[in-house]
Structure 1
Amino acid sequence: MFQNMLGKQWSFLLKMIQDVSACFSLTINTFLMYLILTKSPKQLGAYKWLMIYISVFEILYSILDVVLVPQHYSHGPTFLVIVGIKDKLFGPAGLTILNSFYWGCFGASMAVFAVHFVYRWLVVSEHSLLETFNGWKIWLWFSIPFWYGLTWVCTGYFLSAPNEATSKFIRDNVKEIFELEFDEYIYLGPYLYEKFDNGTFVVHIVPFIGLGIISATIVSSIIIVLLFGSLCYIRINNIVVTTMNSAKMRNLQRQLFYALVIQTLVPFILMHIPAAIMFAFVFLDIDLGVYSAVVSMTIAIYPAVDPIPTLVIVENYRKTILEYFGCFKKTPLLVTTTVEPTRYPNTLSMINYD
């Protein structure tokens, strides 16, 4: 009975957090895009399109979160993303596809920041590959998160699809905690191994393959971020200031780098660490139960919090926000003019003494 009541409380709290976070995400990301397009330094270059790319992605992520209201749930050697069918615009088949897209957004989020770190390094190192971010070629870079996301979509939809063994294992537990009959929700999630009363167990190979694939995408993204982040930090610190313009450029590069580092830490702390903990508990066959809903909550918060570092750290955006609230006054441009003295003729020489 306690578990049942707790499940209802978590579900209600989760729905409230998802709705509030989505509204805040739509507002703050739209405002950030406005600042990027109108208040960005001229030296920003193609990076403004990458920043807009993040904002659009996070808005779509928030909308999908509100439409699905997904709940992460861990039970023994399985973890699920459960979506209730009641009061939804789509049927079970459509919700299952959208659920796999939700998995894809999680995977794409890692690649988005990996691409940004590569770009930052290309800029500060003045690498020839920087030209590939101009014109139509920038879409090749934009497609990288898409391929990461597609990998997660396929893993969720095909390798973690519902099956008889998983449904039998989770049916009673989900009903007890969430009061959902089996035909009132859809789910995606791997059932890693099945234990029997005689002490033996059977490993399900397909879900393990899926878990290995998404683990590879996570590791590759982390390696890229750490490698190019370190190279970028070293390069920025080694920029020699010789002119006022070079000093401004180094200052801007530092602002963008630190904003990107913090922006990357946000999904790492709110998404990847909670998910990794849940994966670990699944491997250890420790039942998190309804408490695994914390993962759903932190993921919902991510798109709303992530734009804040850019708004605060980048000087142009910060000053604009402070101007809106009357906390900062733009220094008026002081125009100096040189006034030539009025030249009068020598009046003494014009006097007639006769």
Structure 2
Amino acid sequence: MVHALWFSRYICLLCMSYGIMDVCEFFFYGDYERKSYVHDSFKGLYHEDSLNMTMVVALYWEGSNDAVVRSWIGVVIVTTSTVYSMLLYFVLGHKIMKKLKVQSSLSEKTINLQRQLFNALTIQTVIPICVSLMPCLAVWFGPVFLLDFRWVYLSAVIAVSIFPSIDPIALIFFLPALRKRVLITRILVTHVNSHLN
């Protein structure tokens, strides 16, 4: 039974990853029309020839009907899958909170620990929404409204790169056992350093 569960997770992950690759390949593939459309601005920003690069490009207005329709379909598919996964976090979180309120057979300490874990997981959900989802939506829909979000693009790169260090901080901050452990270690290090000096 356990092997079937792991196998089904593997198949699901495989289908999702190939599904995302297929959407990018079919709807956003950088064919000659799209690469030539971004050629001048790409050359000005990056000093590279877009015709020699592999890229995904979405054309919203100025292009052939085929390129525009495929771009819109691809953006809708990618946005729907992203927003669905984020909404699923909140729906499952709401169900968890309802279940925690109903559980009367658990001890107060266990319920308190579960609430602390839920708060940490909530923060660990909000961080990717702010770091990943919002910049992606700005990248996808900014050009639709002719908005220049260059500062979002640049700050999103920094935010995504520091995400692995921010994520554990939420756990340390919201779980008292981890917070005490970090503070005790810090006090001990300070105490040892003061004796050495």
Shorter-normalised TM-score: what interval?
Answer: 0.7 to 0.9
Of 127, 142, 159, the match for 1:298: 159
Q: Who is 1:161 aligned against?
A: 29
Is the 1:159–1:210 Cα contact (8 Å) retained in structure 2?
yes
Q: Who is 1:233 aligned against?
A: 97
Taking the aligned partners of 2:155 and 2:57, their CA distance within structure 1 comes to 17
Question: Root-mean-square deviation (CA), in Å?
Answer: 2.9
Which is helix-richer, 1 or 2? 2
Please give the residue correspondences for 1:212-223 in structure 2 after superposition, counting only pairs within 5 Å.
212-223=76-87
Which is strand-richer, 1 or 2? 1
Q: Who is 2:145 aligned against?
A: 284
Is the 1:177–1:290 Cα contact (8 Å) retained in structure 2?
no
Taking the aligned partners of 1:309 and 1:190, their CA distance within structure 2 comes to 35
Taking the aligned partners of 2:150 and 2:178, their CA distance within structure 1 comes to 43
**What letter is aligned with 1:213?**
I
Other structure's SS at 1:187 match: coil
Please give the residue correspondences for 1:330-341 in structure 2 after superposition, counting only pairs within 5 Å.
none
Other structure's SS at 1:322 match: helix
Q: CA deviation at 1:183?
A: 6.0
Taking the aligned partners of 2:103 and 2:125, their CA distance within structure 1 comes to 24
Q: CA deviation at 1:261?
A: 0.3
Q: What is the TM-score with the length of structure 1 in the denominator?
A: 0.46
Q: Residues 229, 301 of structure 1: CA spacing in aligned structure 2 closer, same or farther, 3 A cutoff?
A: same
The structure number with the bigger radius of gyration is: 1
Q: Where does the alignment leave 5 or more consecutive residues of structure 2 unmatched?
A: 190-197
Other structure's SS at 2:187 match: coil
Q: Where does the alignment leave 5 or more consecutive residues of structure 1 unmatched?
A: 1-131, 196-200, 329-354
Taking the aligned partners of 2:3 and 2:116, their CA distance within structure 1 comes to 27
Taking the aligned partners of 1:151 and 1:224, their CA distance within structure 2 comes to 19
Q: Residues 143, 260 of structure 1: CA spacing in aligned structure 2 closer, same or farther, 3 A cutoff?
A: farther
Other structure's SS at 1:251 match: helix
1:310 aligns with 2:174: no
Q: Where do 4+ consecutive residues of structure 1 move more than 6 Å?
A: none
Q: Residues 324, 150 of structure 1: CA spacing in aligned structure 2 closer, same or farther, 3 A cutoff?
A: farther
Q: What is the TM-score with the length of structure 2 in the denominator?
A: 0.77
Please give the residue correspondences for 1:1-354 in structure 2 after superposition, counting only pairs within 5 Å.
135-136=2-3, 139=6, 140-141=8-9, 144=12, 147-182=15-50, 185-194=53-62, 202=65, 204-240=68-104, 246-289=107-150, 292-326=153-187
Cα shift readout 1:112-170 (whole Å, capped 9, x = no counterpart): xxxxxxxxxxxxxxxxxxxx8xx445534576555444332222233211111111111
Cα shift readout 1:277-299 (whole Å, capped 9, x = no counterpart): 22221222334457633333322
